[in-house]
Structure 1
């Protein structure tokens, strides 16, 4: 995995999305997070197709912080099987990426 990562998850409310984002940043497991929504997610659950409003949380982090961030999301999430996807960041502003690493280190 690359050094910089975006971890994305979805929730059923803006409030829950905001809580996940704040907890990740406060714990220094993410440098920053954006909340996108509402969006509509179409998925199959218990044999039925659903189309529900959701909010996506995108957390920018360092690769070595992904595992504890995933654990935080699982612990705090109210879905039985929350979406948690880590995508490597292939490039970007060197200054921003340095800041991202610095913000995910203990204070």
Structure 2
């Protein structure tokens, strides 16, 4: 009977089954993003639908419309994006060198592949007149499949 007592924990100790359940729950929680990504990619491959995060929208503020147009054209010429919207007159308030500044800026909404965001950001920093240009991106979660295919085609190298 002594061998039987070794299978059961002492009073006050959690049972092995509880520990296993906690381990499984913790592992599931920590691996969920990876499992979700793999699941979406498999679903996309089988059904031909969109993989979330493949494309991104990049936001860039410019000091005036001419600079915004110049940057937008250069980005498109270099195939760093497929589409750029120029939104006029965004009122901006921000801290700069310890002071609150206020400016009217032009906002670029740049649609690109997520894989091109780093190159796009680097290029914008080279050509932008601001000391520290505002460049950030958000991945697209969903979208019209035909539009996203059109984006892909717009960035294909010649």
How far apart, CA to CA, are the structure 1 residues paired with 2:75 and 2:138?
A: 17
Partner of 1:104: 155
Q: Following TM superposition, by how much is the alpha carbon of 1:39 offset from its aligned partner in structure 2, in angstroms? A: 1.1
**Quick one: which of 100, 106, 113 aligns to 1:49?**
100
Partner of 2:130: 79
Q: Which has the higher contact order (CA 8 A, sep 6+)?
A: 1
Q: Following TM superposition, by how much is the alpha carbon of 1:101 offset from its aligned partner in structure 2, in angstroms? A: 1.3
Structure 1 unaligned runs (5+)? none
Q: TM-score if structure 2 supplies the norm length?
A: 0.66
Q: TM-score if structure 1 supplies the norm length?
A: 0.96
- Following TM superposition, the consecutive aligned residue runs of length 4 or more in structure 1 with deviations greater than 6 angstroms are none
Residues 31 and 104, structure 1, Cα contact 8 Å, conserved in 2: yes
Structure with the bigger percentage of helix: 2
Q: Following TM superposition, by how much is the alpha carbon of 1:58 offset from its aligned partner in structure 2, in angstroms? A: 0.8
Partner of 1:3: 54
Q: How many corresponding residue pairs?
A: 107
Q: Secondary structure of the residue that 1:54 maps to in structure 2?
A: strand
How far apart, CA to CA, are the structure 2 residues paired with 1:105 and 1:96?
A: 15
Residues 65 and 104, structure 1, Cα contact 8 Å, conserved in 2: no
Computed over aligned residues only, the root mean square deviation of the Cα atoms, in angstroms, reads: 1.1
Q: Secondary structure of the residue that 1:29 maps to in structure 2?
A: coil
Structure 2 unaligned runs (5+)? 1-51
Q: Following TM superposition, by how much is the alpha carbon of 1:65 offset from its aligned partner in structure 2, in angstroms? A: 1.1
